[in-house]
Amino acid sequence: MIIGIDCGYRIGGVGFVSDNWSDVEDLPVFTEGGVDVGLFMGLIKSVGPVKHIYIEKQQPMPKQGVSSTFKLGYAFGQIVATCNLSNFPHTIVAPSAWKKALALPKDKDAARRLAQQWYPDLTPKLQRKKDEHRAESILIAHYGRTRTWPK
């Protein structure tokens, strides 16, 4: 099992890919923001043995406010700490690295379209424009699988 995580403090995604199964879920967060680490730990432990977790690196974006930057950094720290405590190996991957490796076009909806193409069984969970975080998480897991799976 490979897990991909698209971080967020109000919304995010967790994607799961194995030989014969894939799924995607929303990152468990509190209404006010921040990751519900108890639910998050339960989610990543519920899928059985995990070979590796890939976490998308977070960084400030141009024109992003100080408060939003702090909240995203806080959530990122919660995610990394939870993955450390899970004892599953994990890697932080830059968005540019996984997107380039998958030849993902730059338009905002490209991740959702590509995830639906590669994982058609997940299409019901990727139908809305705002499901982009779910799509990115499954693509991050897919990226990780191409790096860690036995050939």
Model pLDDT for residues 10-37, shown as the tens digit of each residue = 889 999 999 899 999 999 999 878 899 9
What are the pLDDT digits (tens) for 88-112? 999 999 999 999 999 999 887 999 9
3-state DSSP percent of the chain in helix, strand and coil, to 5 = 50, 15, 35
Q: What is the pLDDT of residue 151?
A: 46
Q: Say whether pLDDT at 71 is over 90.
A: no
Please name the fold of domain 2-148: Nucleotidyltransferase; domain 5 (3.30.420)
Higher pLDDT pick, 130 / 66: 130
From residue 138, alpha-carbon distances to 15, 107, 116 in Å are 4, 17, 10
What are the pLDDT digits (tens) for 52-61? 999 999 876 6
Q: What is the pLDDT of residue 64?
A: 67
Q: Which residues contact 149 (CB under 8 A, 6 or more apart)?
A: 2, 51
Q: Please count the other Cβ atoms lying within 10 Å of the Cβ belonging to residue 23.
A: 17
The pTM of the full predicted model, rounded to 2 decimals, is 0.92
